[in-house]
Amino acid sequence: MKFSRFAALFSKECRQIVRDPSSILIAFVLPIILIIIFTYAVSLDMNHLKIAVILEDDSAPARSLAGAFLANSHFESRVSADRRAFERDLVAGHIRGIVIIPRRFGEKLRQGEIKPLEVITDGSEPNTANFVQNYAQGVWAVWFGQHQALTGGTLTPTPDSETRIWYNPELESRHFLLPGALALIMTLIGTLLTALVISREWERGTMEALLSTAVTRGELLLGKLVPYFLLGMLSLTLSVAAIILVFHVPFRGSFLLLGASGAVFLFSALGLGLFISTVAKNQFVACQIAFLAAFMPSLMLSGFIFEISSMPAWIQYICNIIPAKYFITCLHSLFLVGNVPALLIPNMAYMAAVGALLLGLTFLLTRPNLE
Amino acid sequence: MPALVEIDRIRKEFRGETAIDNLTASLAKGRITGLVGPDGAGKTTLIRLINGLLAPTRGTVRVNGFDAARERAKLAGFIGYMPQKFGLYEDLTVLENLRLYARLHDVPENERQRQFEKMLEFTDLARFTGRLAGALSGGMKQKLGLACSLLGRPRLLLLDEPGVGVDPISRRELWSMVNALLDGEMTVLWSTSYLDEAERCESVLLLNESKLLFSGPPAELTGRLQDRVRLLRGIEGDRRKLLARLLDKPGVIDGVIQGSALRLVFAADAPCPSLASLGVERDARELIPVQPRFEDAFIDILGGGPGGRSELAERFEPLPDDGATVAAAHTLVKRYGSFTAADRIDFRIRRGEIFGLLGPNGAGKSTTFKMLCGLLRPTSGSAEINGADLQRSGPEARRQLGYMAQKFSQYDGLNLLQNLRFFAGIYGLTGRDRDREIDGMVDAFHFAPYLKANAGDLPLGIRQRLALACAVMHKPAVLFLDEPTSGVSPVTRREFWTHINALVDKGVTVLITTHFMDEAEYCDRIALVYRGRAIATGTPDELKEQVRSADCPDPSMEDAFIRLVQESDRQEASR
């Protein structure tokens, strides 16, 4: 290990990064595009769900409840007395659900007899069906509370549960998605970019020229690792700034810990990138492997979009080996909760271990010759 | 002479394939040794074995007394290496590349500046220090590669095909630069597939199909052919037909067309040849002895070239000998932005003529070529094949045309037979026609043992045949050949030209691009393309005649090329 040789490789790599528009694109432009997409295009919140309210009763409370549905912003409701017309709409997918306010609703309410509301939903889209179900339940519960207060009724409130949402009270999905997007961005820089740059050296024949000099494999690996580590941290800083300052996602933890967890995740991502590029010696294959081994798992199996706890057990085991999962846990807790050392430290330790393992393997697999 | 590199009975295998087979040789200190052979002969593998990038499967390579593979660390700085693929960073400038390699070669800080200056002066790159390496011309790239490999003052310089993709002028410059390095301390190994370069080396290693065929001074090899090479001049009638006839004579082991003459090599045991013994008294005027060349000797070692018969051409119906214009370029211009790739190119090619576009890489040969076969739209002017403009006419006109691309464009993942079927399909051959043509190709090229082998695994010579088969299966009237024989062994090249000559005899018209001077000799006429312009057009003999002077009484095709290009540069400068 000789510092001057490392410095030569380091400055070479930096110049190449600066001169290659694609690395600037991946490190600085792509993150901003991803953040914008996750802010505006991908939203897990549902508004303006089209439903039908069947008003079979003509009493004042029944009409008041129907009015509550009409006024709610989650729903775009149409009211009718006849349910048959809407069944066809539900089948055709024009509406997402039907809420039925049954005959003699007002009368039964007066007598203190309360049945749960009947809600018909379209189960072919389970996610949406759940939303309709839950929102309708919510509208009913709120209306019932107000009704009790107005009429001075003494009936026990129906809702079996009362929901209080911690950490993200507005249930804004971008507060949850944008921090997760950071993991995706760091995967792109850490794994995709590094996987490409080493295989490019093989393709262009520069690796052969490097190997014929006095350079050692440690110098070679560090010469790749350090520049891209710095690039990744720079991109992380930019993305965090954009998320907090421009898109107003709350941040409740410490920046130091954010930096530290970002650094260990980047370490593991770079490890994977370098590993891929030593195995695949051409850019096309490296790119394919990077997408399959890093990008897709970070997107699908990290808890970023899909909840891990609702996956089959064997997939959950796979999720457990993906570093992005641990980084996303750290990110969610730092952005939405605050510093929770008991959670952060083991997660960071795992990412560091994965990085060390992959880099160790890469070092062993890196040959100082062409064999 | 002490040996700096000792190669002792080495063998190198890659996944069961032998790349170097039982090779013993040595490189003398302070000498330049040529490593000569066609593509795939094992040259690159041998160079990598010498600098320890590969370890031999058996045997040892010792450099300056150290085992090249096991004691590589001790040889750091001793060897300078220039890989075939340039090995420099195209997105770094000339100076940045030099600086990078200086530090990687552990050149001390205080010495760097001095070495840079020396290298920049040596390579004449001082004016371009700030230019990105990717923006340099082919010749300048190679010079920069050479400069980088010389940093740290190695004692052994390994150059892997430095002349590839470089025009003859830059090749000569590189050659004299490397020769200037030989100060008694520096030892150079120069690998090449250009056999004329071999003649200039003090010593050569001749490799073919992973075997060492010869090791020693080139004159020793060519000396074996003393008195066995003749030039047949003053030929009346068709020299191609005459060559085909002579190649089938016993005693004639090789023959090539050299302008309007024929160059013939005779077997060692053949009686002294004369016009009468060859039976050509009425066809030619004189048969004069000439100096043997390295290529003659190479063919001789390989047991002689192929005969003059082309089973391929026998399948072709003769076309009318009407002298019609088959292909023509009318003031063709192609511009890319402010860059003019082809500038007012004009020529006409008659039926049964071989027309060559000769020029360095990037001169505009391929651009002209592509405009002719309708692959590129000219900025102005027009091109026609058989009277039709391929830009506008339909597939029928295109069926008249066979095209063999520079890199054989067969599918590596398909086997030989599948490739033939695929190309037959492309040309619209179906049913019995298709089967007949495929069987014909298999017979004509002796493909039978290779039918099930993937094209990617075929020996280079067979791939070459396959590429030709795929281009001529539909019996085109015009054949386009883009650098068809670069890197193949001379025997394969002979075989290829036997087919082409016989096809031309049947009236097929051939347009060929090449930077090989030998190939240029086969042409009836040549357009010398340089910087987008056809700077000279004529028969090979006419071009040579143009540059004949007192200090160059018998110019070769390469001399003609270099002088005509220099002349054009001078005119450009004085304008």
- Residues A62 and A144 placed together within one structural domain of the fold: yes
- Residues A187 and A275 placed together within one structural domain of the fold: yes
First to last CA, chain B: 53
Q: What is the pLDDT of residues A243-301, one digit of tens each?
A: 999 888 888 889 999 999 999 999 999 999 999 988 887 888 998 999 898 888 888 88
Answer yes or no: do B106 and A5 touch at CB < 8 A: yes
**How would you label A303-330 residue by residue, b for 16+ Cβ within 10 Å and e otherwise?**
bbbeebeebeeeeeeebeebbbbbbbbb
Answer yes or no: do A214 and B54 touch at CB < 8 A: no
Structural tokens at position B466:
């396959």
How far apart are alpha carbons B471 and B500 in whole angstroms? 12
- Relative to beta strand B261-266, strand B339-350 is unpaired
How far apart are alpha carbons B333 and B353 in whole angstroms? 24
- Laid out side by side, the sheet with B325-336 consists of B339-350, B325-336, B380-385
Residue A157 lies in a domain: no
**Among B145, B137, B201, B144, CA closest to B169:** B137
Cα→Cα distances A149→A143, A145, B403, B466, Å: 10, 6, 90, 92
Burial status of residue A64 (CB atoms within 10 A of its CB: 0-12, 13-18, 19 or more): middle
- Residues A201 and A342 placed together within one structural domain of the fold: yes
| Nearest-CB residue to A369 (from B54, B79, B100) | B54
What CATH number should be reported for the domain whose range is B3-222? 3.40.50.300
What residue ranges in chain A does DSSP mark as E strands? Answer: 49-55, 75-80, 97-101, 118-121
- Relative to beta strand B401-404, strand A49-55 is unpaired
Residue A109 lies in a domain: yes
Report which of residues A49 and B563 the model is more confident about: B563
CA dihedral A307, A313, A316, A317 (to 10 degrees): 170
Query: Which residues is B325 bridged to in the sheet?
Result: B350
Q: What is the CA radius of gyration of chain A?
A: 28
Answer yes or no: do B85 and A204 touch at CB < 8 A: yes
Residue numbers in B near A1 (CB within 8 A): none
Structural tokens at position B173:
């410059």
Please say whether the beta carbons of B357 and B368 come within 8 A.
Answer: yes
Residue A304 lies in a domain: yes
Distance from CA of B45 to the nearest CA of A (A): 10
- Relative to beta strand B32-36, strand B187-192 is parallel
Residue B58, amino acid = R
3-state SS, one letter per residue, for B302-360: CCCCCCCCCCCHHHCCCCCCCCCEEEEEEEEEEEECCEEEEEEEEEEEECCCEEEEECC
Give residue limits of the domains in chain B: 3-222, 224-309, 411-476
Band of pLDDT at residue A161, cut at 50, 70 and 90 = very low
Residue numbers in A near B91 (CB within 8 A): 15-16, 19-20
- Residues A21 and A79 placed together within one structural domain of the fold: no
pLDDT at site B263: 93
- Residues A257 and A205 placed together within one structural domain of the fold: yes
Residue in chain B lying closest to A6 (CA): B104
Residue A343 lies in a domain: yes
CA dihedral A269, A271, A273, A279 (to 10 degrees): -150
Residue A163 lies in a domain: no
Residue A370 lies in a domain: no
A196: Cα within 13 Å, side-chain hemisphere = 16
DSSP 8-state secondary structure symbol assigned to residue A116 = P
Distance of CA B171 to the CA centre of its chain: 13
Answer yes or no: do A206 and B106 touch at CB < 8 A: no
Distance of CA B160 to the CA centre of its chain: 15
- How much is the pTM? 0.81
Residue in chain A lying closest to B151 (CA): A213
Please say whether the beta carbons of B522 and B500 come within 8 A.
Answer: yes
Residue B288, C-beta contacts closer than 8 angstroms, at least 6 positions apart: B230, B231, B233
Identify the three-state secondary structure at position A168. Answer: coil
Sign of the Cα pseudo-torsion (B387, B391, B393, B398, in order): positive
Please say whether the beta carbons of B458 and B466 come within 8 A.
Answer: yes
* Angle between helices A255-279 and A283-290 in degrees, nearest 10: 130
Distance from CA of A264 to the nearest CA of B (A): 30
- Residues A137 and A215 placed together within one structural domain of the fold: no
B176: Cα within 13 Å, side-chain hemisphere = 7
How far apart are alpha carbons B538 and A342 in whole angstroms? 86
Least confident of A235-239, A300-304, B48-52: A300-304
User: CB pairs below 8 Å between A and B: how many?
Assistant: 77
Kindly give the parts of chain B with pLDDT less than 70.
1, 86, 394, 407-408
Residue A161 lies in a domain: no
Residue numbers in B near A205 (CB within 8 A): 83-87
Please say whether the beta carbons of A294 and A270 come within 8 A.
Answer: no
| Nearest-CB residue to B100 (from A8, A204, A368) | A8
Please say whether the beta carbons of B155 and B78 come within 8 A.
Answer: yes
Residue B156, amino acid = L
Please say whether the beta carbons of B381 and B332 come within 8 A.
Answer: yes
- Residues A202 and A333 placed together within one structural domain of the fold: yes
Distance from CA of B82 to the nearest CA of A (A): 7
Residues A227-250, mean pLDDT to the nearest whole number = 92
Residue numbers in A near B101 (CB within 8 A): 209, 213
Residue A91, amino acid = V
DSSP 8-state secondary structure symbol assigned to residue B26 = E
Residue numbers in A near B72 (CB within 8 A): 368-369
How far apart are alpha carbons B427 and A278 in whole angstroms? 43
* Angle between helices A323-332 and A255-279 in degrees, nearest 10: 160
- Residues A229 and A357 placed together within one structural domain of the fold: yes
Residue in chain B lying closest to A12 (CA): B100
Band of pLDDT at residue A166, cut at 50, 70 and 90 = low
- Relative to beta strand B339-350, strand B509-514 is unpaired
- Residues A8 and A113 placed together within one structural domain of the fold: no
pLDDT at site A46: 64
- Residues A119 and A134 placed together within one structural domain of the fold: yes
Query: Which ipTM value was assigned to this complex?
Result: 0.78
Residues A230-241, mean pLDDT to the nearest whole number = 93
Answer yes or no: do A212 and B148 touch at CB < 8 A: no
How far apart are alpha carbons B17 and B367 in whole angstroms? 39
Chain B residues bordering chain A (beta-carbon distance below 8 Å)? 48, 51-55, 69, 72, 76-77, 79, 81-92, 96, 99-101, 103-106, 148
| Nearest-CB residue to A371 (from B55, B77, B81) | B55
- Residues A176 and A126 placed together within one structural domain of the fold: no
Residue numbers in A near B87 (CB within 8 A): 205-206, 208-209
Cα→Cα distances B24→B30, B58, B217, B298, Å: 19, 12, 16, 19
- DSSP codes joined into one string, B199-248: HHSSEEEEEETTEEEEEE-HHHHHHTTTT-EEEEES--S-HHHHHHHHHT
Residue numbers in B near A215 (CB within 8 A): 104
Please say whether the beta carbons of B447 and B465 come within 8 A.
Answer: yes
DSSP 8-state secondary structure symbol assigned to residue B193 = S
Residue B27, C-beta contacts closer than 8 angstroms, at least 6 positions apart: B3, B4, B5, B33, B156, B187, B189, B203
Residue in chain A lying closest to B152 (CA): A213
> Structurally, how many domains does chain A consist of?
2
| Nearest-CB residue to A371 (from B54, B106, B148) | B54
Domain B224-309 in CATH 2.60.40 = no
Q: Tokens 């052979």 belong to which residue?
A: B37
pLDDT at site A43: 58
Answer yes or no: do B51 and A371 touch at CB < 8 A: no
**How would you label A352-364 residue by residue, b for 16+ Cβ within 10 Å and e otherwise?**
bebbeebbeebee
- DSSP codes joined into one string, A93-110: TSSSEEEEE-TTHHHHHH
**Among B130, B131, B187, B140, CA closest to B162:** B140
How far apart are alpha carbons B333 and B341 in whole angstroms? 8
pLDDT at site A42: 63
Q: What is the pLDDT of residues A130-158, one digit of tens each?
A: 778 888 888 888 888 888 777 766 555 55
How far apart are alpha carbons A195 and A172 in whole angstroms? 35
Residue in chain A lying closest to B81 (CA): A212
Residue numbers in B near A15 (CB within 8 A): 91-92, 96
Residue numbers in A near B82 (CB within 8 A): 209
Distance from CA of A214 to the nearest CA of B (A): 5
Answer yes or no: do A369 and B52 touch at CB < 8 A: yes
Q: Within 10 A of A282 (CB to CB), how many other CB atoms are there?
A: 12
Domain residues for A96? 49-151
Please say whether the beta carbons of B20 and B11 come within 8 A.
Answer: yes
- Residues A344 and A203 placed together within one structural domain of the fold: yes
Chain A residues bordering chain B (beta-carbon distance below 8 Å)? 2, 4-5, 7-9, 11-12, 15-16, 19-20, 204-206, 208-215, 368-371
Answer yes or no: do A214 and B101 touch at CB < 8 A: no
3-state SS, one letter per residue, for B80-139: EEECCCCCCCCCCEHHHHHHHHHHHCCCCHHHHHHHHHHHHHHHCCHHHCCCEHHHCCHH
**Among A176, A153, A182, A196, CA closest to A241:** A182
Q: What is the pLDDT of residues A102-130, one digit of tens each?
A: 888 888 888 877 766 788 887 777 777 77
Burial status of residue B193 (CB atoms within 10 A of its CB: 0-12, 13-18, 19 or more): buried
